[in-house]
Amino acid sequence: MKRRAISLLLAAVLSAALLVCPAAAASVPWVQVNEQSVIIQNLSESWNGVQITLQLSKQAQSSDFTFDAALSGVQTHTACTTDGNSLTLYVTSQTTLGQGGSLPLGALSGDGFTVQGVSNLRLTSMGSSSSYDDTKTTIYDNVGTSGSSGGSSGSSGGSYYPGSGGSGGSGGGSYSVGAVSATGGTLRLSSTHAARGETVTITATPNAGNQLRSLTVTDSTGRTVAVTSLGNGKWSFVMPASAVTITADFSPAQSGALPFTDVGQNDWFRDAVSYVYQAGLMNGTGQTLFSPGDTTTRGMIVTILHRYEGAPAAGGSGFGDVAPGAYYAVPVAWAAATGVVNGIEPTQFGPDLAITREQMAAILYRYARQKGLDVSGRANLAVYADAGQVSSYAVDAMAWAVHTGLITGVNSYTLQPGGFATRAQVATILMRFCAYAERG
């Protein structure tokens, strides 16, 4: 046959690299290849999204392979993309993935490839609601890519465990690193397996409005392993001679008093509103109202960014629909001069037009670039069912905004790029942007 099953090749390539048994890897997920299927095993929690990258032996084009998804339907979206030698599988769903600890991703078929490793296993859960701060993500950076040397067709299948054959984890001296991250934050591990004496790095990132209360590492006997703060949300520990478990306690940050009667104590946007209000970025629509469900205009957005920039002076804007005495006159002039926000026409700015989610992404993208921040990252928008609705001018900006976590789907499978951004959503996006800018 012209096409060979990539999954069969994956088994042949990786079977020789197995250095741990299923019992030893009980605290972390692992990848199994069975016939023509790629399956993630040992999912001990409930997840709504999975992303995993396969490293191929040569560059792949979309026409070189086929992906038959095991999961599909109205509530589940699957996608498969290539980037050089990497092939990435995505699954997002409104329902729970991995029932019984096993998640079949689908069957990959192609011609002339071997798979040399697995990396970037990302598991995401939306929790019990679609609230931004109810989202949980666990990321395994080092899923193990060394020790594999290629194989032949006709193999009968095999399994691959994250971290096997990885740095410092050769022979029988590699122990598993498990992560148990509380809802409301993300743990990123430098390795899922490490040898005794090896340093493991943890990056703990709270969701918007949350903060890290504690980070604990315990060995297999329950004894606490010393953890060192490296700053900027990074921590490290020295691997003992046993498997370890990492537990992070993320909880809502304390909010200051708010004068707004329409922002409840338990509203998902309360912490974001408190942040932008205390920082002087957004005011209420009245003395006691924030109007979280109202739309946000272009004039409001440039005014907010102008305040964040320190309210620099600016000349006239040259737009006929921007009166010199308007509250947004100087911000519009500054935004136009810096290229952060363009007019809808050469002589019209449209300050009173409601802003959409993709327009918000484009504005923040330009602003971040103007400030010299890293804007190179891109997410794969194909995991969202309405990705094709993103306007051409906003594709890069939206992919960057999703990659950095500034903008997330309104649920696990739609972006609604043309939907109007509410004041609550804008407050949340701004709080995330400020955290992103501080990280540089």
CA distance 429 to 368: 13
The token pair that represents 246 in the structure block: 């990492």
CA distance 179 to 247: 6
Q: Where are the beta strands (DSSP E) in 223-324?
A: 224-225, 228-231, 234-238, 244-252
Rounded to the nearest 5 degrees, what angle is found at the Cα of 130, between the Cα atoms of 127 and 132? 90
160 vs 15, 37, 163, 165, 192, CA distance in Å?
A: 7, 13, 9, 10, 13
CA distance 248 to 145: 27
Q: Where are the alpha helices (DSSP H) in 309-356?
A: 329-338
Q: Which of 260, 380, 356, 353 is closest to 299 using CA atoms?
A: 353
Q: Are 352 and 375 in contact (CB under 8 A)?
A: no
Helix axes 357-370, 423-439, angle to 10 degrees: 20
What is the reported pLDDT for 358? 93
Residue 352's CB is within 10 A of a number of other CB atoms, namely 12
Amino acid at 189: L
Establish how many alpha carbons lie within 13 A of residue 334's alpha carbon, considering only the half-sphere containing its beta carbon.
Answer: 22
What is the reported pLDDT for 160? 36
Q: Are 294 and 260 in contact (CB under 8 A)?
A: no
Establish how many alpha carbons lie within 13 A of residue 212's alpha carbon, considering only the half-sphere containing its beta carbon.
Answer: 20
> What are the residues whose beta carbons fall under 8 Å from the beta carbon of 145, sequence distance 6 or more?
55, 116, 117, 118, 119, 165, 166
Q: Which residues of the chain are under the pLDDT cut of 70?
A: 1-28, 30, 32-37, 42, 44-46, 57, 60-67, 69-77, 79, 93-95, 98-101, 108-117, 119, 126-137, 139-174, 179-183, 208-209, 231-232, 252-256, 412, 440
Beta bridge partners of 90: 51, 79
What is the reported pLDDT for 309? 84
DSSP for 34-99 reads ETTEEEEE---S-EEEEEEEEEESS---GGGEEEEES--SSSEEEEEEEETTEEEEEEEEEEEE-G
Strand pairing class (174-181; 244-252) = parallel
What is the reported pLDDT for 149? 25
The token pair that represents 79 in the structure block: 């996608």
What is the reported pLDDT for 311? 81
Q: Which of 238, 249, 269 is closest to 427 using CA atoms?
A: 269
Residue 381 region by backbone torsions, left for phi larger than 0, else alpha for psi between -120 and 50, else beta: alpha
Tell me whether residue 282 is exposed, middle or buried, using C-beta atoms within 10 angstroms of its C-beta: 0 to 12, 13 to 18, 19 or more. buried
What is the reported pLDDT for 128? 47
Q: Are 218 and 254 in contact (CB under 8 A)?
A: no
pTM over 0.85: no
What is the reported pLDDT for 117? 67
What is the reported pLDDT for 133? 43
What is the reported pLDDT for 170? 33
What is the reported pLDDT for 347? 86
CA distance 140 to 404: 17
Q: Where are the beta strands (DSSP E) in 164-306?
A: 174-181, 185-189, 193-195, 199-206, 210-219, 224-225, 228-231, 234-238, 244-252
